[in-house]
Structure 1
Amino acid sequence: MNISTRLTEAAGQYGDKPAYYFEGEAVSYAKLDGMVTRFASGLQEMGIQKGDHVALLLGNSPYFVIGMYGALRAGATVIPVNPIYTTAEIGYILGNGDVKGVIALDLLVPLFEQMNGQLPALEHVIVCETPPSEQKQNFRVEEAVIRTKMKSFTTMLSKEYSSFSRPELDEEDTAVILYTSGTTGKPKGAMLSHKNIYRNAADVADYLKMNDADKVVATLPMFHVFCLTVSLNAPLMSGASLIIVPRFSPKEVFRLIKEYDATVFAGVPTMYNFMLQYEEGLKEDVETLRLCISGGASMPVALLKGFEQKFNVVISEGYGLSEAAPVTCFNPLDRPRKAGSIGMNIVNVENKVVNELGEEVPPNQVGELIVKGPNVMKGYYKMPEETAHTIRDGWLYTGDLARMDEEGYFYIVDRKKDMIIVGGYNVYPREVEEVYYSHPEITEAAVLGIPDPEQGEAVMCYVVTANPNLTEEMLKEYGRGQLAKYKVPSSIEFLEELPKNTTGKILRRALKEQVAGKARS
């Protein structure tokens, strides 16, 4: 079983029920499955075979859903790519990933023309027409279609194909390659098998009790694994309906939740923060939600409690990573949620906390979180040494520091590489960030370590506030009241906003580069 064949099963079960809503239009399961098969037929006709790599450079849209499921149905391996990456970043992934075909927005055609000749494996560029409301430049797909390698997505879907030969797929065949953000060195391509993708989506759907009555808001980027599993694959295999949101905005999310009586919302902490700060958002707008899910980054407890109090909903925090397809933990729905916890093992997945020797540590002791289950990747594409370092004896070493309490609830302490050592003492950035998020005048905070000639490292804090009267000393004094002396920031800087990636995750890496730039100058 894989997610593409499961979609066909769902079409047989749910037929005329909406599979998704997009810009006011409802598309049924039967119609979606038909479009997926037609697109897969078109890929086969142009020469895409089992095992070929097809990249998606698309935002949230039916193009993405049809393109991904169609490529998988044709037996291809899908590589989702952030469409706003730089030319160099996209070029690296397409080259390293041996991509034969690309499905991309028409706005990106100049980029492919620029890279022409640099990607010898690339044979096909399937162009998706940008809706008129989003077009930022004059570009006619008709002109692109006659160019070498260019095809029209819409034309492919409108054709009738004589037959479709569904390839035989093994559960261990590679379904998706997800390139990590590349926080150290070049991005790594995590190879996820059909079993990895299917099992994690099925287990998440089971754990979160998704069903055909659910309407799931898909506003996280679809090219990101969080959305891919939790807001796309799990709902579609459950008979739920997707509400596809092209891009996140608090106003639009509140409107769509209310208009469609949405039942499930998944977001990263930054999204919840924007929604909390949006003054026109009302409790009545979200009263149909039965489940709010947070992941992608640790949610500050102050933000979680503030959101829950304002909107009278419970946020269930979970944890995952690309290499695990991605979900490993979630707060259970049948018992009290623990604020600050990522929850417990989901079905079929085992998490544990170990020391540097790989030995499990006692409850409440900090160590590295490692994971085992049918969701763990096959390895990194063309990187056997990195694979051997990350997967040992069947366990995936996450690089995240965590602890587990006596009841089996896990807590992320911080990224292993982000830990700050001040005079021999460990300081976890998240602990300091939690303190500043609890300050009523601070909307965002990020902490990192900076070189210090006496202590080795010192704590640096960046904050965002709307109060121009707050001073660095006032915030240091606030920290002294709640933190040990060595954990109090030695310097605090005010920013208008913190750097974030496309999922809304705060980028400590960008802040570190900013610090390094100042040091050099």
Structure 2
Amino acid sequence: MNVSERLSLTAREMPGKDAYIFQGERTDYRTFDAKVTKFASALEDAGFEKGDHVALISGNSPVFMIGLYGALRAGLSVIPINPTYTSKEMKYILKNGDVKGVITLDVLVSQLDVVDDELDVTHYFVADTGADIDLEAFTISPKMKSFTKAVEQGSASFTPPSLDDDDLAVILYTSGTTGKPKGAMLTHKNIYSNAKDVATYLEISEEDRVIATLPMFHVFCLTVALNAPIVNGGTIIVIPQFSPGEVFKAAKEYEATVFAGVPTMYNYLLQTGDGQESTFENMRINVSGGSSLPVSLLEAFEKKFNVRVSEGYGLSEASPVTAFNPLDRPRRAGSIGQNITNVENKVVDELGQEVPAGETGELVVKGPNVMKGYYKMPEETAVTIKDGWLFTGDMAREDEEGYFYIVDRKKDLIIVGGYNVYPREVEEVLYQHPEITEAAVVGEPHPEMGEAVIAFVVSDNPSLNEEAVIEYCKKELAKYKLPQRVEFMEELPKNTTGKILRKNLREHLQQS
């Protein structure tokens, strides 16, 4: 079984059930599945063969959903790309990923046009957004095909090629927070197993209406808000771009039952004045991932909206989910939860040996969701996957009851005078300050101590100063963990999924 086959099965079991709602328009499973089949047929007619690579460059929309499932049904490997990337960033992935075809939007054609002569792309399937763009003016015009016409004119009787579990389904390029992006190769088994296991663990059913406002090109949304609902016949409420107002509106209008977001989204939802307890009255579960959710934020959100927030953990290389707080018992604030169905997490030392409960080590993961490897990077693969275990690079600990806690990224560890300082511990204290809305901590070279702790904060109070922040931290932190300096910013740098970019903060320190 794979996600494309599962979609067809869902369409047969509940053809009239809403598959997704986009800009007020409802599309049932029968119609969605038919469009997927027709697009798969159009890809075959254009000369694409099983195993070819196609890039999918689109925001949250039916174009992304039909493009993804249609390409998978045709036996192609899909490379989702962030549509906000520059031409240079897109070019690297398109070249490195050996892309033969691109599914995209008319508003992005100009970016692709300037790099096409360096690519091996034979066809661009372009979706019309209604923008006033003369596509004939671009040099890649002869390679363009209308996405809409492809879906309309494809054959409904298309017969998909036979797919094996270990065939390559998706290549997910990491966000590139360190160095060049690496392409994590996910098989059909990886993608389907994680969608199924997440749906089982979070009890997602045909009764659920899931808000998809995380970027669909990101693996968190791809699995939790897209594939998992489709596996069990849920309805996806597609929001093109995150805004608190749109989330609140969709939650009330469509009686949403599941919301998936990153900590930054929860922070924005909490800070805006539009939301109230009744906004999420139908919400069965809110899940958080992508980065650690500060405990103070979690508790404030739950109190304001009278909902439960379940934090989990995942990474691109694991399709992505490995752990979530269970639904059948109280969630533990600050914990990423326990092993999800069929996946095993453990904490190991530098020799790869499991450490006792309560001790900190590196989190490693094993299961049917673990990637095949990095595309064209055998050495990196060998370092990351050992004896079937995926080494995540995250420092964690496990308690006596099997709950895991992320301490920090291994590479983000700050060593002050020989003592380990985990940025998250300092950030948790900063987030407790009533006048701080965002916080991030990094290390800076220090001539005597090796490194010093530097805090970056966002505050609505212009009179809050460095001295007051450090004094506040003294109540909670040992002296060596205290920020040596506090810098105030209007906004912290983030990637498109809302993850705070510590790398950019380090660069800021180097430049200043």
| Band the TM-score falls in, shorter-chain normalisation | over 0.9
Q: Deviations over 1:454-477 (max 9, x none)?
A: 100000000000001111000000
Question: What amino acid sits opposite 1:102 in the alignment?
Answer: V
Q: Which stretch shows the higher mean deviation, 411-420 or 155-164?
A: 155-164
Q: What is the CA-CA distance between 1:112 and the residue it aligns to?
A: 1.7
From 484, 490, 502, the equivalent of 1:490 is 484
The answer as to whether partners of 1:445 and 1:461 remain within 8 angstroms in 2 is: yes
Matched, 1:227 2:247: no
Q: What is the CA-CA distance between 1:140 and the residue it aligns to?
A: 3.6
- The corresponding residue for 2:112 is 112
Equivalent positions of 1:289-438 (< 5 A) are 289-438=283-432
Q: Distance in 1 between matches of 2:272 and 2:156?
A: 52
Q: Deviations over 1:73-118 (max 9, x none)?
A: 0000000000111111100000000000000111111112101210
Q: What is the CA-CA distance between 1:361 and the residue it aligns to?
A: 0.4
Matched, 1:266 2:260: yes
Match of 1:65, SS state, is helix
The answer as to whether partners of 1:414 and 1:428 remain within 8 angstroms in 2 is: yes
Matched, 1:468 2:467: no
Q: Distance in 2 between matches of 1:244 and 1:364?
A: 41
* TM-score normalised by L of structure 1: 0.97
The answer as to whether partners of 1:459 and 1:487 remain within 8 angstroms in 2 is: yes
Q: Distance in 2 between matches of 1:270 and 1:116?
A: 35
Q: Distance in 2 between matches of 1:183 and 1:404?
A: 27
Q: Distance in 2 between matches of 1:107 and 1:329?
A: 38
Q: Deviations over 1:239-260 (max 9, x none)?
A: 1000000000001100000000
Q: Deviations over 1:263-284 (max 9, x none)?
A: 0000000000000001121111
Q: Distance in 2 between matches of 1:144 and 1:289?
A: 46
- The corresponding residue for 1:166 is 160
C-alpha root-mean-square deviation of aligned residues, in Å? 1.1
Match of 2:100, SS state, is strand
- The corresponding residue for 1:124 is 123
Q: Distance in 2 between matches of 1:373 and 1:324?
A: 8
Matched, 1:254 2:254: no
Q: Distance in 1 between matches of 2:95 and 2:510?
A: 30
Match of 2:453, SS state, is strand
| Number of aligned positions between the proteins | 512
Matched, 1:71 2:71: yes
C-alpha distance 145-421 of structure 1, shift in aligned 2 (>3 A):
closer
Provide structure 2 residue ranges, at least 5 long, that are not aligned to the other structure. Answer: none
Q: What is the CA-CA distance between 1:148 and the residue it aligns to?
A: 2.0
Q: Distance in 1 between matches of 2:422 and 2:26?
A: 47
Q: What is the CA-CA distance between 1:183 and the residue it aligns to?
A: 2.4
- The corresponding residue for 2:81 is 81
Question: What amino acid sits opposite 1:184 in the alignment?
Answer: T
The answer as to whether partners of 1:372 and 1:396 remain within 8 angstroms in 2 is: yes
Q: Which stretch shows the higher mean deviation, 345-354 or 508-517?
A: 508-517
Equivalent positions of 1:27-106 (< 5 A) are 27-106=27-106
The answer as to whether partners of 1:36 and 1:69 remain within 8 angstroms in 2 is: yes
Q: What is the CA-CA distance between 1:149 and the residue it aligns to?
A: 1.0
Q: What is the CA-CA distance between 1:144 and the residue it aligns to?
A: 6.2
C-alpha distance 160-40 of structure 1, shift in aligned 2 (>3 A):
closer
Q: What is the CA-CA distance between 1:325 and the residue it aligns to?
A: 0.2
Q: Distance in 2 between matches of 1:72 and 1:373?
A: 22
Q: Distance in 1 between matches of 2:334 and 2:361?
A: 17
Match of 1:117, SS state, is helix
Match of 2:394, SS state, is strand
Q: Deviations over 1:146-188 (max 9, x none)?
A: 8221111011112143842310110000000000112222110
The answer as to whether partners of 2:494 and 2:501 remain within 8 angstroms in 1 is: yes
Question: What amino acid sits opposite 1:70 in the alignment?
Answer: G
- The corresponding residue for 1:452 is 446
Q: Deviations over 1:15-66 (max 9, x none)?
A: 0111000001000000000000000000000011100001001000000000
Q: What is the CA-CA distance between 1:403 and the residue it aligns to?
A: 0.2
Q: Distance in 2 between matches of 1:304 and 1:384?
A: 40
Q: Distance in 2 between matches of 1:169 and 1:272?
A: 39
Q: What is the CA-CA distance between 1:298 and the residue it aligns to?
A: 0.2
Q: Distance in 1 between matches of 2:436 and 2:155?
A: 58
The answer as to whether partners of 2:195 and 2:223 remain within 8 angstroms in 1 is: yes
The answer as to whether partners of 1:145 and 1:151 remain within 8 angstroms in 2 is: no
The answer as to whether partners of 1:141 and 1:152 remain within 8 angstroms in 2 is: no
The answer as to whether partners of 1:127 and 1:141 remain within 8 angstroms in 2 is: no
Q: Deviations over 1:306-341 (max 9, x none)?
A: 000000001000000000000000000001100000
Q: Which stretch shows the higher mean deviation, 302-311 or 102-111?
A: 102-111
Report % sequence identity.
64
Q: Distance in 1 between matches of 2:156 and 2:357?
A: 61
Question: What amino acid sits opposite 1:29 in the alignment?
Answer: Y
Q: Distance in 2 between matches of 1:162 and 1:231?
A: 27
Question: What amino acid sits opposite 1:42 in the alignment?
Answer: A
Match of 2:39, SS state, is helix
C-alpha distance 86-423 of structure 1, shift in aligned 2 (>3 A):
same
The answer as to whether partners of 1:355 and 1:361 remain within 8 angstroms in 2 is: yes
Matched, 1:236 2:233: no
The answer as to whether partners of 1:79 and 1:177 remain within 8 angstroms in 2 is: yes
The answer as to whether partners of 1:145 and 1:152 remain within 8 angstroms in 2 is: no
C-alpha distance 456-24 of structure 1, shift in aligned 2 (>3 A):
same
Q: Distance in 2 between matches of 1:346 and 1:116?
A: 42
- The corresponding residue for 2:436 is 442
Q: Distance in 2 between matches of 1:160 and 1:210?
A: 32
The answer as to whether partners of 1:129 and 1:141 remain within 8 angstroms in 2 is: no
